[in-house]
Every structure is written in structure tokens, then in C-alpha cells.
Amino acid sequence: MTEKREKLKLYHERRKVAHSGEPKGTERVKKHKKPIFVVQKHAASHLHYDFRLEIGGVLKSWAIPKGPSMNPKDKRLAVPTDDHPLAYATFEGIIPEGNYGAGAVMVWDTGSFDNVKTEAIETCLKEGRIEILLHGHKLQGAFALIRAGSQTDERWLLIKMRDMSADLSSDVVADKPNSVLSGKSIEEIAAKGKSHADD
Ligand code: MN
């Protein structure tokens, strides 16, 4: 098994991509010149935000129940989830009922990122302390992703670092709810899935 296939093993174990309409992981997606991040708003049984970073040919992923914040005072719980294929970064649509994570998926924000630390990003990931600059449509500037909790109960925290882009007064998740890809709301994406199922 290739290294990438090994990384995507859990992704495939949990999903039947032939039925779910999600990327199969076999798409030819070239490694980006600058690594990318994506935040997907996911109306599964509980609405959450999936934060993904391009590292080592896959999208390393964390589920953030409350979503990201531009306020350095907020520490947002980020629970690691399975690595996703790079093609997932542009996936927006419906995961049909009966599939893992069924519900609407939106590309809430995306862009490139820079590793701020001198160590390679893979090392930062292993050591549980990532510091990055995000160049998104909504998320901008320095963010830290820090491992808390134990090896068996892995929890991370996503925290906005203090810089010019920090914002103590606004709520980015509430103020900018729609897709940066299509401009659609999560309800509009979900509704399209319904009309599709009817015809
Ligand atoms: Mn999700």
C-alpha cells in the first residue's frame, strides 16, 4: 500500500464513496505550490466545522464544534478526524442519508497557509504545536493549533494569535455564514439535495 493510501485507509473504512458522492481519493490533484487550508461547514447530526490543512499529500483534519474565531480570547475545541484526500477541499454538496456524516457540506473558507515556525509542519504536527498564517477569504493572519489532553483522548485547541487581523468584537461564523465557493447558505445546499432526490 502506498503511503497516501495508508493515510486514507480510515477515510475509506468509514465511507462508501461510491454511494456518498464524496471524492474517491483517486483524483489527480497536484500538491499545491503553497499548501492550502479549507474549513467546511458540515450540517451532519450536529452542525460543526471541519478544519483541514494540506500536509504530506493529504488534508489533515479536525472537527470544530463551534467553528473558528478571530478573537484571541476564544479557545476552540478541535477534535482530530481522519485524513481526507486533497480533492475534498472543493467538495460542496450533500452526503446522502444512510452514509457516514450525512448532511450538507459547504466550503466555508479556503486559501493558502504559511508555516510560521522554523520546524517542518510535519514535525509541528507530531509535537502538537502548529503555528500558521492563514490567507483565506474570512480567516486571516496567525493561528495556533495546540494539542491538549492525552494520547488516547486527543483534543486540540484552535486559537487566533494576536496580530493586526485579530478581532475581539465580531463573530466570523455568524457574520459570514455562506460558502466562499458558491455564495450559498447551508440551507440552500441542503435544499438542492432534496429537489435532486425528488426527480
Ligand atoms: Mn464533518
More confident residue, 180 or 30: 180
Distance CA 27, CA 13 (A): 18
pTM beyond 0.75, yes or no: yes
Query: 49 CA to middle of ligand 1, Å?
Result: 7
pLDDT of residue 199 exceeding 70, the answer is no
Distance 63 CA to ligand 1 centre (A): 6
Average pLDDT of span 162-185: 97
pLDDT of residue 8: 92
Which residues, in sequence order, are CB contacts of 71 under 8 Å at separation 6+? Answer: 160, 166, 167, 168, 169
- Grouping H, G, I as helix, E, B as strand and the rest as coil, residue 178 is coil
Q: Cα of 31 to ligand 1 centre, how many Å?
A: 23
- Please write the tens of the pLDDT for every residue from 50-63: 999 999 999 999 99
Q: pLDDT confidence of 194, banded at 50, 70, 90?
A: low
Give residue 33's region: left, alpha or beta (phi > 0; psi -120 to 50): alpha
Whole-angstrom Cα distance, residue 166 to residue 164? 6
Phi, psi of 156 (to 5 degrees): -120, 165
Average pLDDT of every residue of the chain: 93
pLDDT digits (tens, 9 = 90+) for 94-124: 999 999 999 999 999 999 999 999 999 999 9
In percent, how much of the chain has pLDDT > 70?
96
* CA 118 – ligand 1 centroid, Å: 31
d(CA 104, CA 113): 26
100 alpha carbon to ligand 1 midpoint, in Å? Answer: 9
Q: Ligand 1 center to residue 70 CA distance, Å?
A: 21
CA of 159 to the centre of ligand 1 (A): 20
Q: What spacing in Å lies between the alpha carbon of 42 and ligand 1's midpoint?
A: 5
Task: Output the CA 128–ligand 1 centroid distance in Å.
Answer: 21
Torsion sign across C-alpha atoms 44, 45, 50, 56: negative
- CA distance linking residue 5 with residue 7, whole number of Å: 5
Instruction: Compute the distance from residue 183 Cα to the ligand 1 centre, in Å.
Output: 20
73-85 residue pLDDT tens: 999 999 999 999 9
Average pLDDT over residues 147-166: 91
Distance, CA 72 to ligand 1 centroid (Å)?
24
Whole-number Å distance between alpha carbons of 88 and 84? 6
The phi, psi pair for 113, rounded to 5°, reads: -140, 155
> With bands split at pLDDT 50, 70 and 90, how would you rate the model's confidence at 45?
very high
Distance in Å, CA 102 to ligand 1 centroid: 9
pLDDT band at residue 153 under the 50/70/90 scheme: confident
Residue-level pLDDT at 197: 47
